[in-house]
A and B are shown apart, each in its own frame.
Chain A
Amino acid sequence: MNNQLTWEHPPKWLLWIVLPLVVGLLIASSVIPQPIVGVIHLNDAIYAQTASDLIKQINYAMDHPEVRAVVLSFDSPGGTVVDTEAVYMELERLRVKKPVVTAINGMAASGAYYLSVGTDYIYAKPTSLVGNVGVIGYLPPTPLVFEDIISTGPYKLWGAPRDSDMRQIDMIKQAFYEAVRLGRGERLKAGPETILRGQIWLGTEALRLGLIDEIGTENDAVRKAAQMTHIWHYKTADLYGLAGLQAPVYSFFMQSPEGVTLPYPKESGMYLLYIPPLPVEK
């Protein structure tokens, strides 16, 4: 009766198949996780808080191998120069390892477009607002001295001569254009005389100028990202939650005394920012 098949006495050959299979399955699921296309949303201006959040999500994508590609989903008018540059540089580190695709929803203007050109592929909707390449700066006042304020140099209080500020802004513009030129490469069909006008274009026109690659949605961007990294049966995940972030409490924009949010930044400085035009009466 030794060969009788019972639960208590399974055949040895079965043991040698099932057990490795089960163990193999268990180990494989942890060693070879289901790939993730991480999605990073930016629905605000780019400033210290949002830039920090973006960088944390980028770092999460860098540190987690299951995140095989990243989609940046933008609805942003841009923001401060330095915060945009910070995110751009971190984005380039990520891009060395993993494909990054941009999906422009409402708008990727100025600094947000700066970040977009630092990705592998750009989608926009037909009427998304794209471009606005350029810099805005508020020049400091002409230096003065005050009886009751002692400073140690003519620009200690004012930062820089007005003329020097203007020229620095032009240098920032050069960097922005270089980012566009290098990021878009041969896909860019418009020259600096067009790009540097600072114009903001609809998605369809941006496509014609080579500012974006294709008309599409965030889902298209996710599929493209997966395709670029050669993954199947992936899942998408919002990296905001995975990176353990919480909603910012600071408001970048100025508010009127009535509590209406205006399209102007609260603080003076240098910005890669699109400020929607207000009606002008002449």
Chain B
Amino acid sequence: MNRKTLWIALACFILPALARAVWFYPGFSTRPRIATPDYQSLSIPTPPIKAEQADQKITVMGGVVVIDTLHGNQFKPTELDSLVQALNQRGGRVEFDNATPTLETRLKYASTYVIISPSTVYTSDEMRWIKAFVDNGGKLAVFTDATRGQVTFDFFTGSIIGLPDSNIVNPILAPFGIAVEADYLYNIAKNEGNFRNVFFDEFNKDELTFGLKQVAFYGTHSVKSDSGLTLFIGADQTLSSITDAGGGLSAGAVSENGNVLALGDFTFLTPPYNNVADNNTLIANIADFMLGGTRKPALTNFPYVFNGSDVSILPTSEVQVTAEIVGALSRLQASLKTVNVELKVVEEKPDEGDLLVLGTFVPSEDLAQFSDPFNLTIEEDSEYITVPGFGNIGRSGNGLLLFQTGRKGNTIILLADTVDDLTILLDTLSSGNLTGCVLQGNIGMCSIGVGGSFSDGSDTTGTPSSEETPSGEATPTPTGAG
């Protein structure tokens, strides 16, 4: 065995490995650097919390805010704590609308009617009452919420049935030129902890946006208004879920007359989100909106037409305070007590305060000071009197209600042909509503019998029916602005 043989043997030994290596592994690979997320550097997004401003100027305005609970409204009363607190600070009072008294009655004295994320439809009557309420200067605040629509899942068919609250409120808002979309707004680029929590940094000028630099809404519908004013202007990256398009989308609007507010979100009112950004300032502005109405008291709102809790009764010189009149006044007193109004008889017109004037169709100087503004034509020898808007009406069997608002108080003048008719007219008032009268503006004409001596004997006296009787708690009447 020589060296050559050894080399051959070694080569033969290595050759299979070399061949195999070349056969299977013709080249070398190097691995690139692998980049992975630095989990430790990630942080939880925190909200821009703002403490409530202690030096905020609060004006006490008073008023009653009625909150709807009769339409499957998707909220808990405790979620309203921040708003209720703001309203209370301004002298306002919150009532939750339950079955009695009716919505129609509540709207007679409410400053604002609030609808929050309803799930059942409003009747045509309810919508008519709400529209009339707003037309008369009442405020309507509608809160919808994209996260509170009703969704049901059917395991059998595998389908989801969605009913957004916007579908319910749009028929109510339509007469005021406002529409809530059945979408939600989102912003991937800049948001408050989640894509559906959007910031608004740009605002149209309005009392509701006063002092706002940034608000955050949590799952909000977009709100549009052609005739009114959109309040918040979304960033270009704030998009609608329906179109995935953005640019100027809003989450709130007020109607042209400024009496209707519609917001696409409700969650921003609830803790802890009420403390984020300027949400508390917005809530304060909403409270100001709700109590700062210029609603004019009207006869249709009787008995909620007085400014204060004391009303003076002033019989004119032609009215003899008979036992029947006293009886009717006592019944009226009992009736008005249920709405916290006290009656007192006076001999002279007081300098200020609410007044109930009793008179007949006999012209007199002391009556003239009250009736002249209404341009009535009353002639002693005529069977008719002329009432603007009504024409000639018979003296007998008719009573007139004249309503006058004033800075120092509101006045109702009751006129009838005789003291007996006046008694019946007073009892009509005692019934708690004026549904038996024809009301036109500030004048009401009531049928109180035939020929001045007719009475059908029906009981029009006493306290209002339970349906019309508000709860026993204090019920302030709306502030007269006239």
How far is the CB of A10 from the nearest CB of chain B, in Å?
14
Say yes or no: A175 contacts B39, CB within 8 Å: yes
How far is the CB of B48 from the nearest CB of chain A, in Å?
13
- Say yes or no for B80: interface residue by CB 8 A criterion: no
Say yes or no: A278 contacts B158, CB within 8 Å: yes
Say yes or no: A27 contacts B17, CB within 8 Å: yes
A171-B44, A175-B39, A281-B159 known; A17-B193 Cβ under 8 A: no
- Say yes or no for B316: interface residue by CB 8 A criterion: no
- Say yes or no for B350: interface residue by CB 8 A criterion: no
Say yes or no: B159 contacts A166, CB within 8 Å: no
- Say yes or no for B54: interface residue by CB 8 A criterion: no
- Say yes or no for A169: interface residue by CB 8 A criterion: yes
Say yes or no: B160 contacts A278, CB within 8 Å: yes
Say yes or no: B17 contacts A24, CB within 8 Å: yes
Say yes or no: B27 contacts A230, CB within 8 Å: yes
Kindly list chain A residues whose C-beta atoms are within 8 Å of the C-beta of B23: 232-233
Residues 261-282 of A at the B interface (beta carbon under 8 Å) = 262, 278-282
- Say yes or no for B162: interface residue by CB 8 A criterion: yes
Number of interface residues of A (CB under 8 A): 62
Say yes or no: B37 contacts A97, CB within 8 Å: no
Once bound together, how far apart are the Cα atoms of A89 and B5, in whole Å?
Answer: 54
Residues 7-47 of A at the B interface (beta carbon under 8 Å) = 12-13, 16-21, 23-25, 27-29, 31-32, 34-35
Once bound together, how far apart are the Cα atoms of A21 and B162, in whole Å?
Answer: 78
A20-B13, A25-B16, A232-B24 known; A179-B158 Cβ under 8 A: no
Kindly list chain B residues whose C-beta atoms are within 8 Å of the C-beta of A167: 44-46, 193-194
Say yes or no: B8 contacts A32, CB within 8 Å: no
- Say yes or no for B29: interface residue by CB 8 A criterion: yes
Chain B 239-263 per-residue mask, 1 if CB under 8 angstroms from chain A, else 0: 0000010000000000000000000
A-side interface mostly = helix
- Say yes or no for B99: interface residue by CB 8 A criterion: no
Residues 225-255 of A at the B interface (beta carbon under 8 Å) = 228-234
Cross-chain contact of A279 among B39, B45, B159 (Cβ < 8 A) = B159
- Say yes or no for A197: interface residue by CB 8 A criterion: yes
Q: How many A-B residue pairs have CB under 8 A?
A: 150
Chain A 163-190 per-residue mask, 1 if CB under 8 angstroms from chain B, else 0: 1101111110011001100110100000
Closest to B22 in A: A232
Closest to B158 in A: A278
Cross-chain contact of A229 among B1, B20, B29, B43 (Cβ < 8 A) = B29
Chain B 461-478 per-residue mask, 1 if CB under 8 angstroms from chain A, else 0: 000000000000000000
Once bound together, how far apart are the Cα atoms of A263 and B403, in whole Å?
Answer: 67
- Say yes or no for A95: interface residue by CB 8 A criterion: yes
- Say yes or no for A99: interface residue by CB 8 A criterion: yes
Cross-chain contact of B12 among A17, A95, A279 (Cβ < 8 A) = A17
Once bound together, how far apart are the Cα atoms of A25 and B38, in whole Å?
Answer: 48
Residues 196-240 of A at the B interface (beta carbon under 8 Å) = 196-197, 228-234
Kindly list chain A residues whose C-beta atoms are within 8 Å of the C-beta of B35: 182-183, 185
How far is the CB of B236 from the nearest CB of chain A, in Å?
11
Cross-chain contact of A16 among B8, B19, B39, B195 (Cβ < 8 A) = B8
- Say yes or no for B31: interface residue by CB 8 A criterion: yes
Q: What are 23 A-to-B residue pairs whose CB atoms are below 8 Å?
A: A16-B1, A20-B10, A21-B16, A24-B12, A24-B13, A24-B14, A27-B13, A28-B16, A88-B36, A89-B36, A171-B42, A171-B43, A171-B45, A175-B39, A196-B188, A230-B25, A230-B28, A231-B24, A257-B155, A278-B158, A278-B159, A282-B163, A282-B164
A192-B189, A197-B188 provided; 14 other pairs, C-beta below 8 A? A16-B1, A17-B12, A35-B24, A92-B36, A166-B193, A167-B194, A168-B44, A171-B42, A175-B39, A230-B26, A230-B27, A231-B25, A233-B24, A257-B155
Which residues of A come within 8 Å of B, CB atoms?
A: 12-13, 16-21, 23-25, 27-29, 31-32, 34-35, 88-89, 92, 95-99, 118, 120, 163-164, 166-171, 174-175, 178-179, 182-183, 185, 192-193, 196-197, 228-234, 256-257, 262, 278-282
Which residues of B come within 8 Å of A, CB atoms?
A: 1, 5-6, 8-17, 19-21, 23-29, 31-32, 34-39, 42-46, 153, 155, 158-164, 182, 188-189, 193-195, 237, 244, 272-273
What 3 pairs across the A-B complex have the smallest Cβ distances? A230-B27, A178-B37, A20-B13
